[in-house]
Chain A
Amino acid sequence: MKILVAMDGSAYSVKACRWAMNLSRALRLPPKICLLNADEPLSNSVAIRIGATEAARYHRENAEYALKKGRAVLKRAGLRWTEEARIGHPAKVILEVAKRYKADFIVMGSHGRTPLKSLVLGSVTSKVIAGTAIPIAVIR
């Protein structure tokens, strides 16, 4: 069983990761888990102003922040996992990686970091649902 967990560091994404961890207890064989962070690229003008080194550092820090909490959850449960940090439009990256990784399903929170709680689903989650050929577990 291959599970792709989309992480953005939000409380919802941590919950999604915890759910994947609990699910793995019910499986016959330990799953292959991949924690993925897709970081929105900087706008061109900003990227040029701060320079390539700074831009790379910015993305590295974002990925570290997003993956850190998921990592802790899996480590405590004694699970093994792989990590992937990518820069790109989150929904697109999630779909690409899920396909390449041949995930059996994607796990993600119903919302991410945007504070629009009134929306039924966060924008990234709804885009992934709209585009996916792989089942997706939505965690609230």
Chain B
Amino acid sequence: MKILLCTDGSKNAERATAYVATLTRVFHQLDVALLYVDIPVTERISTLLDSDAVEQMHRANAEAALKSARGRLQRARIHPKELIQSGNVVECISRTARSGKFDLIVIGSRGHSPLVDWMLGSTTSEVLAANKVPVLVVP
């Protein structure tokens, strides 16, 4: 079972991670990749910063988002492969799921976006629309 676990470091993503950690007991073999997608800097900002600084910023963001997920999974004896990308979140998730031949995408029902009243996060619903890989939505 190849699982693509998408995280943005939000509470909901944490719940998705916790859920995946419980799956290790029920599956024969669980192959988990942890994906973090950072939003690219605008063109204006990229002209002001050199590429090293941009790279460093993406890496720092990724580290902040991945740290607790990594710990939680490792405690469940899952050693995830970590994927860090920058770009359109939905496109990155869909592309990775397809090219990596994942069986399942796991995602929280909403992420960092402040529209908490909205029943389903925009990223999550777009991921549902954009690809044919089954999606497990964790509330």
Interface residues of A (CB under 8 A from B): 1, 19, 23, 26-29, 104-105, 110, 120-121, 126, 129-130, 132-140
Contact = CB atoms under 8 A, between A and B. Distances in A.
A138 B28 contact: no
Name which of B1, B28, B137 has the most chain A CB atoms within 10 A of its CB: B137
B79 to A, nearest CB: 19
A12 to B, nearest CB: 12
Contacts of B27: 26-28
A140 B132 contact: yes
Name which of B28, B29, B129, B139 has the most chain A CB atoms within 10 A of its CB: B139
Contacts of A139: 134
B92 interface: no
Given A137-B104, A138-B128, 9 more contacts: A27-B26, A27-B28, A28-B25, A120-B125, A129-B120, A135-B19, A137-B134, A138-B135, A140-B134
Nearest to A22: B103
Nearest to A136: B137
A135 B134 contact: no
Contacts of A129: 109, 119-120, 137, 139
A19 B134 contact: yes
Contacts of A1: 26
B138 interface: yes
A22 B135 CA distance: 15
Given A28-B27, A110-B128, A121-B125, A133 B134 contact: no
Interface residues of B, number: 23
A137 B19 CA distance: 13
B54 interface: no
B136 interface: yes
Contacts of B104: 137
Contacts of B126: 120
Contacts of B125: 120-121
Contacts of B128: 110, 120-121, 138, 140
Interface in B112-134: 119-120, 125-126, 128-129, 131-132, 134
Contact of B129 (A104, A120, A135): A120
A137 B133 CA distance: 10
B119 A126 contact: yes
Contacts of A126: 119-120
Contacts of B26: 1, 27-29, 104
A88 B46 CA distance: 55
Contacts of B134: 19, 137-140
